[in-house]
Amino acid sequence: MAAPRRVAELRPKLLGGRALPAARSMRLRVTDDGAVALTDVSGQERQLLAPGAVARALHIGYDDARRFLPGRAGSDELLVLLDRAGTPLLALGLIDWAPPAYSTGAEWREITGAPAFATALGLPLEPAEARDLEALEGVSEVLLRPQPAPPWPGRRGPLVSSIALALGLLAGFGEGMWVIAVLTLLSILVVAPVIVAGSRARAEAREPGPTPGRDSRSVIRPRPEGRVVRGLAEATVEISDDEVVLTDRGREVWLPGPARGGVRQAVLAPQSVRLLDAAGNEYVTLDPGLWAPTDRAREDLARELREAGLDALPAPVGRGTPVGLAAPLSAKIQPSYLLSETERGEATQTTAWLSGCAVALAVGTSAMTMYWNGPVGVVLLVASLGLLGLRLADTLRRGIADRRAMRRVAAAPEAALR
């Protein structure tokens, strides 16, 4: 029986923290009548483009995409939907909707689902020409991304806190009560939103909990040997007919399963464990040192994959580098390790430390002037130091969970895949 064709649906990339609801729920698909519909993070579907509204589907390569997406990190390609007048209706950075694979070119575009998406609209996926690019200058205004914007100040947190620290220093060397009071107040006003944003984002990005619908999927867990692996407690591969879900250190990616024309087979080799579709397109490469470090572990993994509904094929692999789902075997637990602050939307440890220093200076200089901003500074100082302490507690909690998971693997290796 022929394998099902890839469903015309785009799914977010590997996401975590505040963006985790998008990984779990957000889907962009073509409906049976040719409309473009979006399922948002709440699970509600709404129509973005009416049937027949899209006249062309353009693919913009990396070199040209940089013109329209300044400041985007890493390489990216664009899928742009145009109306009959050539006006951009919707733009997608394909790297935002791609599995964590190292494939390139046509194979990479295939696993994002962009060709199937265009086909469902009854259109070819056309490479953009020079005359098309001239009309796409405003394409960033219709760009759809699955990640929520980080709370202010985002990546500028250390810079903003450094400014507050500088104001506090100036206040300490200032002359005149009004000068000292104004500089101190400015320092406090700059630091306050940094602390509030970091605390709010951390609350939003706390323990993600089990993936929705896990009970209906076969769950496979890693089986490392010897050392504690960072993120081990949170790493799983979950398989059903419709979906293959990979979790990694609080991040998740939801790939289409065999019934949706997605991941259908696994190729197990000493160098890698690759998940592929029926056409051999690679969706993800797992670290064999974590998932199948020995011949026995590789046999057990192959058996579990077959029981879950995938074809497990032992074959040599001449290419592919482990993506690190979960962490590479050599990644030891370090006190400074945490999930990316960008993903969690938190203030960095540097930001928290600078904020604390800035407010400490503000409190000290306010004490000399006896102004009302002294008590406010004390409150913010406690809050900023508390934020730093909570971040360190997150690190220790994850490390303890990983060590306990490693003990479970060592005590009952035959049950590690259940």
Residue 349, in any domain of the structure: yes
Higher pLDDT, 356 or 253: 253
In this structure, the answer to whether residues 299 and 347 fall within a common structural domain is no
pLDDT band for position 338 (50/70/90)?
very low
Q: What is the pLDDT of residue 75?
A: 55
In this structure, the answer to whether residues 230 and 178 fall within a common structural domain is no
Range of the domain at 69: 9-142
103: left (phi over 0), alpha (psi -120 to 50) or beta: beta
Strand intervals (E) in 207-357 = 218-220, 236-239, 243-248, 251-256, 265-269, 272-276, 282-286, 311-314
Query: How confident is the model over 43-56, as a mean pLDDT?
Result: 95
pLDDT band for position 317 (50/70/90)?
very low
| Dihedral, 223, 102, 72, 137 alpha carbons, nearest 10 | -140
Residue 17, in any domain of the structure: yes
Query: How confident is the model over 344-368, as a mean pLDDT?
Result: 59
Residue 411, in any domain of the structure: no
Q: What is the pLDDT of residue 326?
A: 43
Question: How far is Cα 174 from Cα 184, in angstroms, rounded to an integer?
Answer: 10
Q: Which of 162-171, 304-313, 321-330 shows the lowest per-residue confidence on average (mean pLDDT)?
A: 321-330
Residue 149, in any domain of the structure: no
pLDDT band for position 382 (50/70/90)?
confident
Q: What is the pLDDT of residue 290?
A: 80
pLDDT more than 90, % of the chain:
33
Tokens coding 65:
């995409």
- State yes or no: pLDDT of 414 exceeds 70: no
3-state secondary structure string across 172-237: HHCCCHHHHHHHHHHHHHHHHHHHHHHHHHHHHCCCCCCCCCHHHCEEECCCCCCCCCCCHHHCEE
Q: What is the pLDDT of residue 205?
A: 62
Please give the full DSSP string across 108-152, using - where no structure is assigned.
Answer: HHHHHTHHHHHHHTT--EEEP-HHHHTT-TTGGGGB--SSPPPPT
Residue 417, in any domain of the structure: no
CA distances from 365 to 180, 192, 345, 381, 385 (A): 7, 17, 32, 14, 19
Q: Which of 285, 307, 332 is the last residue of a domain?
A: 332
pLDDT tens digit sequence for 84-104: 998 999 999 999 999 988 778
Q: Which of 101, 117, 142 is the last residue of a domain?
A: 142
pLDDT band for position 220 (50/70/90)?
very high
> What pairs with residue 285 in β-bridges?
274
Range of 53-62, 220-229, 294-303 with top mean pLDDT: 53-62
Residue 372, in any domain of the structure: yes
In this structure, the answer to whether residues 260 and 378 fall within a common structural domain is no
Question: How far is Cα 346 from Cα 53, in angstroms, rounded to an integer?
Answer: 40
Q: What is the pLDDT of residue 328?
A: 35
- State yes or no: pLDDT of 259 exceeds 70: yes
81: phi then psi, degrees, rounded to nearest 5:
-100, 130
Q: Which of 48-57, 90-99, 365-374 shows the lowest per-residue confidence on average (mean pLDDT)?
A: 365-374
- State yes or no: pLDDT of 415 exceeds 70: no
In this structure, the answer to whether residues 200 and 219 fall within a common structural domain is no
Higher pLDDT, 229 or 80: 80
Summary mean pLDDT of the chain: 77
In this structure, the answer to whether residues 178 and 227 fall within a common structural domain is no
pLDDT band for position 376 (50/70/90)?
low
CA distances from 208 to 150, 234, 392 (A): 18, 10, 18
Residue with tokens 């406090």: 188
In this structure, the answer to whether residues 136 and 17 fall within a common structural domain is yes
Q: What is the pLDDT of residue 293?
A: 82
- State yes or no: pLDDT of 241 exceeds 50: yes
pLDDT tens digit sequence for 268-286: 988 788 899 999 999 998 8
In this structure, the answer to whether residues 122 and 59 fall within a common structural domain is yes
Cβ distance 365 to 185 under 8 Å?
Answer: no
Distance from the first to the final alpha carbon of the chain: 30
319 class by beta-carbon count within 10 Å (0-12 exposed, 13-18 middle, 19+ buried): exposed
Tokens coding 383:
């809050």
In this structure, the answer to whether residues 159 and 282 fall within a common structural domain is no
Residue 3, in any domain of the structure: no
Q: What is the pLDDT of residue 321?
A: 45
Amino acid at 30: V
CA distances from 334 to 143, 237, 395 (A): 37, 25, 8
In this structure, the answer to whether residues 358 and 247 fall within a common structural domain is no
Question: Residue 353: CB partners within 8 Å, gap ≥ 6?
Answer: 388
Question: How far is Cα 59 from Cα 57, in angstroms, rounded to an integer?
Answer: 7
In this structure, the answer to whether residues 310 and 264 fall within a common structural domain is yes
Tally of domains within the chain: 3
Q: Which of 297, 332, 367 is the last residue of a domain?
A: 332
Question: How far is Cα 353 from Cα 385, in angstroms, rounded to an integer?
Answer: 7
Q: What is the helix, strand, coil percentage profile of the chain, to 5? A: 45, 20, 40
In this structure, the answer to whether residues 310 and 401 fall within a common structural domain is no
In this structure, the answer to whether residues 325 and 389 fall within a common structural domain is no
Residue 1, in any domain of the structure: no
pLDDT band for position 177 (50/70/90)?
low
